[in-house]
Chains A and B, each alone.
Chain A
Amino acid sequence: MNSRLETRGLSRRYGRQRALIDVSLTCNAGEAIALVGPNGAGKSTLLSLLSTLARPTAGEILYDGRSASAWGPSLRGRIGSLGHEVSLYPELSARENLMFFGQLFGTPDVTDRVARALRLSGLESRADSPTGTFSRGMRQRLAIERALLHAPDILLFDEPFTGLDEPAAEALIARLAAARIEGAAIVFSSHDFEHAERVATRVAMLSAGRLTSLGGLDGAGSLRERYRAAPR
C-alpha cells in the first residue's frame, strides 16, 4: 500500500543557498504532519516542492507511489495549496474569486460549492465585495476555502493560522480534522504551536534544510517544549 506522499532524499539549492538537504519523509492518508522550525529552515521550500511548483535538485517525490510527471496535470487537481500570500485578486469579489478558481480547477457543481464555501467561511454577507477591501483574516479564510473547494486529498498549507482570530482558527482545526477523517494527507507549516498540535498527528522538525526529527505527539503542551528543547 503506497503512501499518499513520499519524499526520498529530497534536496533543493537556490544558487549558493541550500534550502533543503536530503529530506525523506512519508505522509499517509489520514495523517497530518506539522513542519516546525525557525525561519529559513526550509518549510516553505518543502511545501513548494510537494505542490509541484518547484523541481528538486536531487531526490524524488512520489504521490501514491508515482512521480509527478507520471501523473501529469491531473495530480494538481488532488492538491489543495495555501501559500504565504493569499493569492486572491483584489479587484474581484469573494464570490468571483472562488468561481474563477473553482472553474479553473474543474470543480463540479461549482456554484453550489462556492455558496457553501462562502457560508462556511462566514463571508456570505461580504460575498460581492472586492477582496481588496477585506482584512488579512478575512482573506485568509477565503484562501482556505479556495484551497478546499475542489475537494483535494493532499493538503499543503503554509502557515494556515496566520491572521485568524480564535473562532476562525477553531473552524480551521475542525475542517482539517474532517478532511483527515475523509482520508486526506496533510502537510502544513506553522509557528502557532497551540493550534498546530491540535491538527497534527506527527511533527517534522526542520533546521537549516535538514529534517532533524520526525515523530508523534504525546500530550498537549509538548510541541512548544519539544521545539525549545530541540538542538539547532
Chain B
Amino acid sequence: MKGVFAAAWLIARKDFTIEARSREIIATAVFFAVACVLVFSFSLVDEGRAPDNVAAGVLWIGISFAGTLSLARLFERERAHDTLRTLLLAPVERPAVYLGKLLAVVMLMAAVGAVLLPFTGFLFDQAVLGAAPGLAAVILLGIIGYAAVGTLFAAMLGRSRSRDVLLPVLLYPMSVPVLIAGVRATSALLDAAGPDWAAARLWIGVLAAFDVVFLTLALWTFEAVMEE
C-alpha cells in the first residue's frame, strides 16, 4: 500500500506531465491574470498615475481570478473522463487525492504569481526586488490558503450541476481573510517608505494560521464529502 505523500506526489506529477504537454491551463491562467491586471489598471489610473497602494490589490485580484480558473480546469480534466472515480479507488487514504491536487493547483498559481508580481511591479512602479523574498513568502502562503479551500470545493462540485458558477460563489467569500491578509502584507512590503517588516510579519501570521486551520479541516472532511 502506498503512503499518503507518495500517492499525492504521483498524482501531482501526473498533472504536471499532462500540463507540460498541452500547457493549456498555465497559458490561459497567466494570460487571464495579466488581462485582469491591465483592465483594473485602466479603470484605476487617472491622468497617467495610479493611486497609491493599488498595486497590491490588483495583484491579488489577478492571482485569485487565475486561481479559480486553474481549479475549475484542473478538475474539469478529471471529470471529463471520470478519472477522479478511479483515483478515489486507490488503496490509500483518500486525502492523498486532495493533497495531490492541492500541490498541482499551488504550483499553477505560483507560476501565475511569479509572472504577475514583476508585471504589477513594472506597471505600478513598485520596488519589488527589495522585498522579493518576503513577497514570495506572502504570495505562497496566500496561495496555499486559497487553494486549500478551493481544491476541496472544486473536488466536491465535480458532480454538481451549475458547478462553473458555484465555485467562485463559494470560494470568494470563504477566502476573504486570505485576500485581506495577502493584500495588506504585500502593501506593507511595497511601502514607498521601505518595507514595513513588522506589519508584514503580523499578516504573515494570519495567513499561516489560516493555512493550518483550513488545510486541517479540508483533510478531515475530504473523505466524508467525496463519498456519494
Contact = CB atoms under 8 A, between A and B. Distances in A.
A59 to B, nearest CB: 15
A166 interface: no
Given A88-B81, A92-B14, A92-B17, A54 B228 contact: yes
A103 interface: yes
A92 to B, nearest CB: 7
Given A53-B227, A86-B81, A87-B83, A103 B10 contact: yes
Given A73-B92, A104-B92, A105-B90, A83 B22 contact: no
A88 B14 CA distance: 12
Contact of A75 (B17, B91, B94): B91
Contact of B85 (A83, A91, A96): A83
A227 interface: no
B85 A87 contact: yes
B11 A104 contact: yes
Given A73-B93, A73-B94, A74-B1, A104 B83 contact: no
A48 B228 contact: yes
A88 B1 contact: no
Contacts, number: 79
Nearest to B77: A89
B227 A89 contact: no
Interface string A54-95: 110000000000000000011111110101111111111000
Contacts of B94: 73
A100 B89 CA distance: 13
Given A76-B91, A103-B10, A104-B7, A84 B82 contact: yes
Contacts of A84: 82
B228 A92 contact: no
Interface string B1-31: 1100001001100100110011000000000
A75 B93 CA distance: 11
Interface residues of B, number: 26
Contact of A55 (B10, B85, B92, B227): B227
Contacts of A48: 228
Which among A73, A77, A90 has the highest number of chain B CB atoms within 10 Å? A73
A7 interface: no
A108 to B, nearest CB: 11
A83 B82 CA distance: 9
B131 interface: no
A56 to B, nearest CB: 10
Contacts of B89: 51-53, 76, 79, 81
Contacts of B14: 89, 92, 100
Given A73-B92, A85-B82, A88-B81, 8 more contacts: A53-B228, A54-B227, A55-B228, A73-B91, A76-B90, A78-B91, A87-B86, A106-B1
